[in-house]
Amino acid sequence: MKKILFVLVFLSLFIKLIAQEPLLAPHYMTAEEYARRSEIGKGFQETPPPTGEVRNIAEWEPAEAVLIAYKNGFYVPYNLIAEMSKDCKVIITLSGITEENTARNLLTNNNVNIDNCIFLYTTVDFWWTRDYSPWYIAVDNKEVALIDFPYNRPRPNDDAIPSKMATLLDLDMYAMNVIQTGGNYMCDGYGIGASTDLVTEEETQTEAQILEKMKQYLGINQYFIMMDPMDDYIKHIDCWGKFIDVDKVIITKVPQDDYRYADYEATAAFFAETNCSWGYPYKVYRVNVANSYANDVNPYTNSLILNNKVFVPQTGSSFDADALEVYKQAMPGYEVYGIMNTNTLNEWYNTDALHCRTYGVSDRKMIFIKHLPVQDITNSQTDFKIEAEVYSFEQLSIKEVTLFYSVNGAEYQSINMQAASVKSNIYSAEIPNQPTDAEIKYYIKATDSNDKTVTNPLIGEADPHVFNDKIVNYIASENLESFFNIYPNPSSGNFFIWFDLSFSQNIIIEIFNIAGQNILTEEIYLTKDEHLKNIDISKYGKGVYLLKAHGKNLSITKKIFVN
């Protein structure tokens, strides 16, 4: 049935595709390729998945390079290449020395830092490096590796790029047998990924099998497989949505008279009502577009985050300036660039823009700070403990980890975070408790022995973590010590919660792991007086967990230690 539907969709959209994208750039599957679709994934050899902890690296994490293609010309504008080459390497695929000489002249004449260009001799079918490049993972938070997959087009040269990149970068590569494409995938770096249902349409495996593969090879514990509100042939998520941080997403917004309006609003509502990996709902930002692709091209979510810069496609549309403002509001501290595309072989399209034609290469020597942000606290009677895990992918010693915090907008103060032991990756410090209602902003900065630094959040002071210490007047007997306790703590993961309530109420219990993922939610009704509630999370393994209990005039957060 899926194959019949795919044929019908393909045929119904073919005329539209001819008008929208020139035959020079068939981002869609051509008729000739469609006849060869059985070649997709043919002969693909799956490897065993990585062993140890696996984490899919997000687009906004440190990058050492960006990959683009040269094929009888560049398909991104020179001003973009020049800006990217200021801060990192630009890896350019081309066929050989003749094309390299031509490319060098073009780049030099257009103010590109040629010393930061690396030329990779290989043949590509097309220039959509995002779609066919490998995905980057961290293994045990100490080394970068690559994930290959069958590219969802019968384009063998493009499909070979992952192995070429593995050789160039000298990285281990694992092969995951799930038909995929990079434009239809995004992740948050903490175990959440998202794609449209194109992934289930093109795969013969069940959704459960796909989810298991994503978990094994990429460390994706929660995979959103979503409808495509754009309702276009390509069904790539980057055409209408984009994770821009662990807790932020940008979603296209069409006018109310657009027939897709309800679908876009439902998609935005899904994220606004869904917890991110840090344990609270996503912050959803909307970027306006026209209601007819025949009249306007607005590929604003098809942008590139590269270290501290964001490159947003521009087309001369009346919506261009507003799109840049949305990014500036959503990503304070980043340099936001609007990129026109007038000097290349293909202009930007709603189904093919800047994000499609570029792909960041994760920094093999990055520092990673793993941290679960503190959330709003009610009636805190202690200092605020801030804890983070810090890893050097160069296996260098961590020279310094510093906590910066500000109370009610005052100047930032700093505290040195201390390691639990000489060999520990866990660092902690305490922000002093505040006597009155307070808004507390903070960020963490780590420096290795080579003086490389990174912050969490990645943009640091310009976009810090924020929580509030709220003062609520409870019934006198209801305070942290007299009505709520956890024991034993530490435990094997099987423990009790003790309540002593002065009135009956519903209590919601939530438990989060250190990555911010909710592993347990339970609502219980407790009458007045004492109660014991048994909880068992031993199956989730050793570590530090966060327990939250919510009730009427009650919000308590405590750490659970599982040995």
Residue 293 confidence (pLDDT): 60
Residues 83 and 166 in one domain: yes
522 with 455, same domain: the answer is no
Of 340, 362, 384, the position where a domain reaches its end is 362
Q: Which two tokens stand for residue 505?
A: 């109420």
Q: Is 88 a catalytic residue?
A: no
Statement to judge: residues 27 and 133 lie in one domain: yes
Q: Residue 23: what pLDDT?
A: 39
pLDDT exceeds cutoff 70 at 442: yes
β-partners of residue 410 are none
Domain containing 500 — which CATH number?
A: 2.60.40.3080
Exactly one of 88, 187, 276, 356 is catalytic; name it: 356
Q: Report whether pLDDT(2) > 60.
A: no
User: Cβ neighbours of residue 457 under 8 Å, at least 6 residues apart?
Assistant: 245, 246, 443, 463, 464, 465
Residue 294's pLDDT band, with cuts at 50, 70 and 90, is low
Per-residue pLDDT of 307-360, as tens digits, reads: 999 999 999 999 999 999 999 999 999 999 999 997 767 789 999 999 999 999
Task: Choose between 486 and 106: higher pLDDT.
Answer: 106
Cα 436 to the center of its chain, rounded Å: 36
Structure tokens at 309: 């810069």
The CATH number that applies at residue 233 is 3.75.10.10
DSSP H helical segments within 21-94, as ranges? 31-35, 78-85
Q: Domain boundary at 413, 436, 470, which?
A: 470
Residue 553: the pLDDT is 61
Whether residue 424 is found in the same domain as residue 435: yes
pLDDT (0 to 100) of residue 528: 67
Greater confidence (537 vs 423) lies with 537
Q: Are 181 and 222 within 8 A, CB to CB?
A: no
Token readout for 412 is 């930032």
Q: What is the pLDDT of residue 209?
A: 96
Q: Do 118 and 232 fall into the same domain?
A: yes
pLDDT category, 487, cuts 50, 70, 90? confident
290 and 141 in one domain? yes
Residue found under tokens 């990192």: 88
Q: Could you tell me which residues are beta bridge partners of residue 470?
A: 378
Domain end marker among 432, 453, 470: 470
Judged against a pLDDT cut of 80, whether residue 548 lies above it is answered with: yes
The per-residue pLDDT for range 357-368, each reduced to its tens digit, is: 999 999 999 999
22: cis peptide before it, omega within 30°? no
Q: pLDDT digit string (tens) for 364-413? A: 999 999 999 988 776 566 788 899 999 999 999 999 999 999 999 999 99
Residue 137: CB atoms within 10 Å:
23
- What value does the mean pLDDT of the chain take? 88
The number of distinct structural domains making up the chain is 3
Q: Which residues contact 494 (CB under 8 A, 6 or more apart)?
A: 534, 535, 536, 537, 538
The beta-carbon contacts of 433-438 under 8 Å, at least 24 apart in sequence, are: 433/380, 433/381, 433/382, 433/383, 433/384, 433/469, 434/407, 434/469, 436/471, 437/468, 437/469, 437/470, 437/471, 438/407, 438/408, 438/468, 438/469
Residues 375, 345 share a domain: no
pLDDT at residue 295, as a whole number:
65
Residue 265: the pLDDT is 96
Query: How many angstroms separate the most distant Cα atoms in the chain?
Result: 83
Q: Within 13 Å of residue 115, how many CA atoms lie on the same side as its CB?
A: 2
Residues 286, 386: one domain?
Answer: no
Same domain, 273 and 226: yes
The reply to whether 501 and 461 lie within a common domain is no
Give pLDDT, residue 170.
Answer: 97
Residues 379, 234 share a domain? no
Q: Kindly state whether residues 287 and 380 are assigned to the same domain.
A: no
Let me know if 26 is exposed, middle or buried by CB neighbors in 10 A (0-12, 13-18, 19+): middle
Q: What is the CATH number of the domain that holds 449?
A: 2.60.40.650
Tell me the residue range of the domain where 419 lies. Answer: 365-470
